[in-house]
Structure 1
Amino acid sequence: MDAPSATDETGRIAPPDRAGAGRVPEWVWTIALAVLGAVVSWARVEPAARAALWAEDGAFFLGDALAADPLGVLLQPYQGYLHLVPRMIAGVTVAVVPVEGYAIAMTVGSCLVVGAVSAIVFACARSVVAWLPARVALGALTFLAPAVGWEVVGNAANLHWYALWLAPWLLLAAPRRRSTAILLGVVGLAAALTEIQMLLFLPLLAWRFRDPNRLIVGAGVLLGSAAQVVALLLSPRDPGAEGSPPFLSTVQGYLYHAPMEAVFPSRQWKAAWVLHFGWWGAALVLLPFLVALVWVLWRGLAVERIAGAALAAGSVVAWSAAYVLNSNPDYFFSLVPVDVAVNIHLTRYGVVPSLFLLAVVVLATSVSWRAGVLRRTAVAVLVAVLIATVVGALVPQPSARGAGPDWASAIPAARAACAADSAPDRTAVAIAPDGWAVEVPCDRLAD
């Protein structure tokens, strides 16, 4: 057995010994996770969905890049928020990809970002998680978590959720080199300019705030978050429904979309569980995550306890914020019978809360390994988490854009419309879901 990881005088995780003979260098794990994350994400998207554009990906991100200078719209708000990374993917797509390949290029770009986030989570978690297998598992959760296959993976409109998953690891990172800190600061800036909810984790900057390298990383997130707030004030999002959901609906929705999405590989399975056991059965699924949290708070070092508390609180707050701010009476779980409630699926809201809960369990295994107690249990739990998430990734999930329309197949008809006698200067190409379209300039469609 490896010796427990050492800690320094501040009680934080000391860097691992790189001199061990036969050990795989960490940069190999980083690259492997980046590649595997992109490939697995691509594989989790239905073939038909890869070739179809989804809603905002086409109508706004691609549409704005086609209508104006792609660089000029990078910081253009949509629904009150900035979406830097999706707009970057769209800008590269219209700059270098033939029009027939727009849908595939957007899917590829989105999958590459997931791979990059997986690698960055692995690298940043080094400051918190002592046990290398646990850090590898954290990186892998990015692309293996069951919930991401239902709605989020493979489209740029939902990439902001991955930035939120990255937030606690990025803001707890303590890079030892100035160059690494600057790189992570740039990552933090890009992520915060993509996801306004990263500001929920800004209090983590108070941990070892005198560390100059941590300040560099935090500065990127702070700057991006400030820009998001300004964008929201200057370009408010459309108002939602009047009134907030009942508190019980928020609780039931959380149970249905956080612990249950972390455990069950399909929506049918979690619906069957609630139909059979009721909402108390859903609450029971939360119990193992609470046990893991208590273990981290009891046996963890200061940074491990901070991370565990942040992940647990982030799980609750991230779900509640998304659910309450997007209040919709059609999604009030407590106001409808349970057989109706189990068909209310807001999976995109549950992805990150479920990831945070899984991360608490992984963190608990690292605490056991570092402390030299219950090591066999830690190995068994970590293996169980990985097996469960791999199974979840292998279970096929229908995509909202799986029925098309196929983007490339629609281009010949669009060219014909542009070539007509009364040709407009642009033509609309339908995308998923019904009623959405991309306004493509005719000069882009010229043979």
Structure 2
Amino acid sequence: MDAPSAARATGGIPARTRPRAALLPDWAWAIALVVLGSVVSWFRIEHAARALWAEDGTFFLGDALDADPVSVLLQPYQGYLHLVPRIIAGAVVSVVPVEGYAIAMTVGSCLVVGAVSAVVFLCARSVVVWLPARIAIGALTFLAPAAGWEVLGNAANLHWYLLWLAPWLLLAVPRRRSTAILLGVVGLAAALTEIQMLLFLPLLAWRFRDPNRWIVGAGVVIGSALQVAAVLLSPRDAGAETSPPFLSTVQGYLYHAPMEAVFPSRQWKAAWVIHFGWWGAALVMLPFLAALVWVLWRGIAVERIAAAALAAGSVIAWSAAYVLNSNPDFFYSEIPVALAVHLHLTRYGVVPASYLLALVVLATSVAWRAGVLRRTSAVVLVGAVVLTVVAAIVPQPSVRADGPDWAPEIPPARSACTVDEPPGRTAIAIAPEGWLVQVPCERLAG
């Protein structure tokens, strides 16, 4: 194989910098990540929080119960398409008894997280040359420190995991046409679930002449175009009339990105900011800025592009979510810091924090590939993994834990249906308060 062909087969990474063959093939590591990611995600969710949450019940399950589940797959909700959650809901109502809907939706969400971790690992091959670092990148999917608060275990928040996938997917250089087609399908499904995938479309300019990359990109482009059409044809509800002050956006980012990447609990975050102020929160950014500078200095082209995408994506993903969902109750700069630290928009910070952690892992891979500071890079990688594991296993109360529990609500609902003439439907309460699922009586009877 000539040099250009060899470079194409390895995503453009020079032959002299590629690692030696691993003990296990990539597909074995990918399967391990699917299993580990699904199991770890399940156990990170409090038992009481394995319940139906908001849109999961009222809209995704409710719409699947009201009609043929296939017919609602591309039905917009709040201006956006939600393909993956609707696929899960459709599968649940098709094969699971009504008593098991809550657990099945949770299991389905955990399986998607496991699958995303494997795809991230496989796609990252084109960027991250050191296998331990690439495994760590894949594992960040289910070890994201703040995910246990409100993102893990519910389909309504699965779109954040697909946003985490975006830069890795759009930098992937598939070796085979069949792999490119599979990744293109993944990209289509992801973009039909997360409109923010389009933020990373400029990455397609990297190695734009590679036809396999355009097959992958085509899926994301098509899905993003359909998302934009959905927003235009079915606009979301208007948000607050005022945009947040710039300082609030900055303070909110510091509190929900670098600090969520470092501190294992919300209490530790709050204590740090109360003691050191917002300048103390800014100091937490320093190791991530150092990692970015290191990759830009010592990295090859694809590593630099990935680092820039991760850094920019961290800021833009937070800012877009925060500004477009403007809420004056969360304007950090307009209230005392002692109160601001109790305002949590954790779901907005999970992916920005993961991008920052990925920067550190990428920096260790650059050091390993370049043959410099190898011992230091190994220590840093182990430290980053330990930090994320500790942050993941520290118990975090979930906003879904207040119930109500789904299964015990079924017998009373079934009894209520027996007195209906003609049979209709009954409303079953889910979390948070005020949300309901309208379940047809014939479904309860069955």
- The normalised TM-score by structure 2 is 0.96
Aligned match of 1:349: 348
Residue 129 of structure 1 corresponds to 128
Q: 1:424: how far off?
A: 4.9
Alignment map for 1:225-264 (pairs within 5 Å): 225-264=224-263
What SS does the aligned partner of 1:244 have? coil
Structure 1 unaligned segments of length 5 or more: list them: 1-5
Deviations 1:320-367 (A, max 9, x none): 000000000000000000001000000000000000000111000000
Describe the superposition over 1:178-234 as per-residue Cα deviations: whole angstroms up to 9, x where unpaired: 000000000000000000000000000000101000000000000000000000000
Deviation at 1:9, TM superposition (A): 11
Aligned to 2:37: 37
In structure 2, the residue matched to 1:3 is none
Residue 12 (structure 1) shift = 2.5
Q: Which residue of 1 aligns with 2:47?
A: 47
Question: Residues 196 and 241 from structure 1, CA distance in 2 versus in 1: closer, same or farther, beyond 3 angstroms?
Answer: same
Q: Match for 2:33: what amino acid?
A: L
SS at match of 1:283: helix
Render the CA deviation track for 1:374-410: whole Å, top value 9, x for unaligned: 1111000100010001101111111111121110100
What is the CA–CA distance in structure 2 between the aligned matches of 1:198 and 1:8, rounded to whole Å? 25
Native 8 Å contact 2:64 2:89 kept in 1: yes
Please give the alpha-carbon distance, in whole angstroms, between the structure 1 residues aligned to 2:420 and 2:441: 13
Distance change (3 Å), C-alpha of 1:106 and 1:17: farther
Cα pair distance change 1:214/1:8, threshold 3 Å: closer
- Cα separation, 1, equivalents of 2:222 and 2:19: 38
Cα distance in 1 between the residues matched to 2:18 and 2:303: 22
Residue in 2 aligned with 1:12?
Answer: 12
Q: What corresponds to 1:427 in structure 2? A: 426
The answer on whether the counterparts of 1:11 and 1:302 sit within 8 Å (CA) in structure 2 is no
Structure 1 residue aligned with 2:24: 24
Distance (whole Å) between structure 1 residues aligned to residue 38 and residue 9 of structure 2: 39
| Per-residue CA distance 1:288-338 (angstroms, 9 max, x = gap) | 000000000000000000000000000000000000000000000000000
**CA contact 2:129–2:365 (8 Å) conserved in 1:** yes
On the 8 A contact 1:40/1:143 being kept in 2, the answer is yes
Give, in angstroms, the shift of residue 27 of structure 1.
1.2
Distance in 2 between residues matched to 1:369 and 1:7, nearest whole Å: 19
Residue of structure 1 equivalent to 2:111:
112
CA distance in structure 1 between the partners assigned to 2:387 and 2:13 by the alignment: 28
Structure 1's 301 and 17: CA in aligned 2 closer, same or farther, altered over 3 A? closer
SS at match of 2:376: helix
Q: After the TM superposition, which residues 396-411 of structure 1 pair with which residues of structure 2 at under 5 Å, given as runs?
A: 396-411=395-410
- Compute the displacement of 1:239 (Å): 0.4
The one-letter amino acid paired with 2:366 is V
RMSD over aligned CA atoms reads 1.8
Name the residue aligned to 1:265: 264
Percent identical among aligned pairs is 79
Please report how far the alpha carbon of residue 7 of structure 1 lies from its aligned counterpart in structure 2 after TM superposition.
6.1
Q: Given the alignment of the two structures, is residue 179 of structure 1 paired with residue 178 of structure 2, yes or no?
A: yes
Misfit runs of 4+, over 3 Å: 6-11, 14-22, 421-424
Distance 1:200 1:166 in 2: 12
Unaligned runs of 5+ in 2: 1-5
Equivalent residue letter for 1:229: V
- The equivalent of 1:395 in structure 2 is 394
Which residue of the partner structure matches residue 194 of structure 1?
193
Equivalent position of 1:278 in the other structure? 277
Who is 1:144 aligned against? 143
